[in-house]
Amino acid sequence: MVRNLAFFAVMSLIWGLTWAAIKLGLNDVPPLLLAAARYLLTTALLATAVRGAGAAFAHGRTGRTVVSALLVNTGTYGLLFWGMQHVPSGLSGLVNLALIPILLFAIAALTGEERPTWRHACALAIGSIGLVGLFWTRLGAGSGSSGIGLAAIVVATACYCVGSVVSRPLVGAVKPLALTMVQAAIGGVALLALSLVLEPISDETLEALLTPAAIGSLLFLSLFGTIVAYTLYLVLMRDWGTVRAGLYAFVSPIVALAAGAWLFGEAVGWAEIAGAILLLAAAAIALLRPRGENRG
């Protein structure tokens, strides 16, 4: 339990910082190309060190492996990165992070992975209120948001949640780090194909990948956001189930808020502080379960 709580804290910290890294990278690089570069770099970094990747395609797992990769990596980050170009980052974060625990719980309840309890309802209600408080002062910036941009973020979040549920049965048979590499390779190739078809790729675009901001963004997203944090997420999905692992969505926004204040000078007021407290309370209610309660 202590080990998994430590994993959860590290994962939440890293994924809270990824919003700033994504924002930095999107300043110079088209969204699909940035997402493709992230996962192809991840694959290259892991290819010489990871063993056992073939297990992802053994014993009839190929279909589940490919579908999960296309959902978690291609669908999620292709749509999310594109949507963030048309929706302010605060509103993007609110929509994405508010939907993750709700959708994960709904899918887990429908598939029988979780049994609905008052604890779930209480945690989701408190967490949703906390997220609104955390992003309250940034919601006004959403007046210029495009409807299609918001729709892209909603669909991206749904892809991520469905893909997480599809991935869970693979983790017991495939080592988490190996599954991270396989999904990154499949997702990265698909994203690159989409980028070549849908985005204008020129010499200037490729040169943008070599700017310090883009390199820093990609290294952080690949090394920490994918190799470290996503692998920890797979471990927690195996040990805790998708719903509890997805509760990082109640903790990462606090990290994102602090990073925004530090890196971009974003203001933090009482609404944000109150929202952060409610989010931590919601995460504690959901994570610290009484003995004997179903743990998925």
- Residuewise pLDDT in 10s, the chain (296 residues): 789 999 999 999 998 888 778 888 888 888 899 999 999 999 999 998 898 899 999 999 999 999 999 999 999 999 988 887 777 666 676 677 777 887 888 887 787 777 777 777 787 788 778 777 766 665 555 445 567 887 888 899 999 999 999 999 999 899 999 999 999 999 999 999 999 998 888 888 888 888 998 999 999 999 999 999 999 999 999 998 888 888 888 788 777 777 767 666 666 677 777 877 887 787 777 666 555 454 44
CA separation for the pair 70, 198 (Å, rounded): 17
> How far apart, in whole angstroms, are the C-alpha atoms of residue 201 and residue 34?
12
Residues 45 and 118: beta-carbon distance below 8 Å: no
CA angle 218, 191, 63 (to 5 degrees): 120
Alpha helices in 199-251 (DSSP H): 203-208, 212-219, 229-240, 242-245
Q: Which two tokens mark 75?
A: 């669908």
Q: Considering Cα of 135, then 114, then 227, then 72, what sign does the dihedral take?
A: negative
Joined tokens for residue 34: 């940035």
CA dihedral defined by 263, 88, 99, 251, rounded to 10 degrees? 10
pLDDT attached to residue 265: 65
Q: Can you give the pLDDT at residue 295?
A: 46
* Position 285, amino acid: I
Residue 186: HSE in the Cβ half-sphere, 13 Å Cα cutoff:
21
Rounded Cα distance between 130 and 285, Å, is: 14
d(CA 34, CA 77): 9
